[in-house]
Structure 1
Amino acid sequence: MIRSVLAYVVLGVVGLVVALVGATAYRSIPPFGVALCIVLMLSATVFARAWKDWSGIGVFAGVWAVATYVLSMEGPGGSLLIATDSLGYAWLIGGTTAVIVVCLIPRHVLFGRVDVATA
């Protein structure tokens, strides 16, 4: 029980870290920064699905989406972390697409085939 709760907490923290790293690093070395951030998003989403399947993706992507939404809002001084330009949209759309792509990967690719005779 406690291990399962801890696993979801870890996936939430990973979602938050990916959102923070992506929001601050996507503008570095254009366009390679946004590409590397999307690769980070892909690998973290695969990790979440491989560890806790659909519920893991739900926790990870939910925390990522909320954190990314908060980071895309204007700060008190009018500053933005995720700007409304081509790189900002590439990060938002690319991160969302990464989650969708991982959801479309067949289960046996991540988990392997289970032989009914030995299971």
Structure 2
Amino acid sequence: MMRRALGLGGLLVMGAAIAAIGTLSHRTYPFYGVIAVVVMTFTGALFARAWHDWAGLALYSGAWAIVVFLLAQAGPGGSVLIVEDALGYTYLLGSAAAIVLVSFTPSFLIKGREHVA
């Protein structure tokens, strides 16, 4: 029981970390940075679903969504980290689509046929 709780907690931290890294670095190299961040989000979601199935994916994506929401707010001086332009929308929609894609992927493609009940 403790092992599962620690694993789920790790996925929660991983979702928050990937969201923070992605939000802070998606503009580093225009479009290459966005592609790298979307791939990182997809890989994290795939790992979460493979490790702890739906509970893991739910915690990962929930933490990702909360951190991105908080970091997308305007700062005290009015500055924003996710600008409403092509890069910002590509990051938000691409990462969200990556998580949705993982949720629609059949379990046997993620875990193999011998591990699916």
* TM-score normalised by L of structure 2: 0.95
Aligned equivalent of 2:58: 58
| Residue of structure 2 in register with 1:12 after alignment | 12
3-state SS in 2 of match to 1:79: coil
- SS in structure 2 opposite 1:29? coil
1:27 alignment partner in structure 2: 27
In 2, the alpha carbon distance for the partners of 1:106 and 1:50 equals 11
Paired amino acid for 1:93? L
The separation in 1 between residues aligned to 2:114 and 2:67, in whole angstroms, is 37
State the percentage of identical aligned residues.
38
Superposed, 1:1-119 pairs within 5 Å as 1-114=1-114
Q: Which amino acid aligns with 1:35?
A: I
Amino acid at match of 1:74: A
Shift of 1:76: 1.1
Structure 2 residue ranges without an equivalent (≥5): none
Matches of 1:112 and 1:29, distance apart in 2: 36
Q: Distance in 1 between matches of 2:111 and 2:23?
A: 31
CA distance in structure 1 between the partners assigned to 2:81 and 2:3 by the alignment: 35
- Counterpart of 1:14, as a letter, is M
Unmatched tracts of structure 1, length 5 or more: none
2: CA distance, partners of 1:65 / 1:102: 15
By how many angstroms is 1:3 displaced? 1.0
Aligned residues: 116
Question: C-alpha displacement at 1:114, in angstroms?
Answer: 2.2
TM-score between both structures, scaled by the size of structure 1: 0.93
Separation (CA, whole Å) in 2 of partners of 1:76 and 1:6: 36
- Measured against aligned partners, the alpha-carbon deviations of 1:63-110 in whole angstroms (never above 9, x if no partner) come to 000000000000111111111111111111011000111111111111
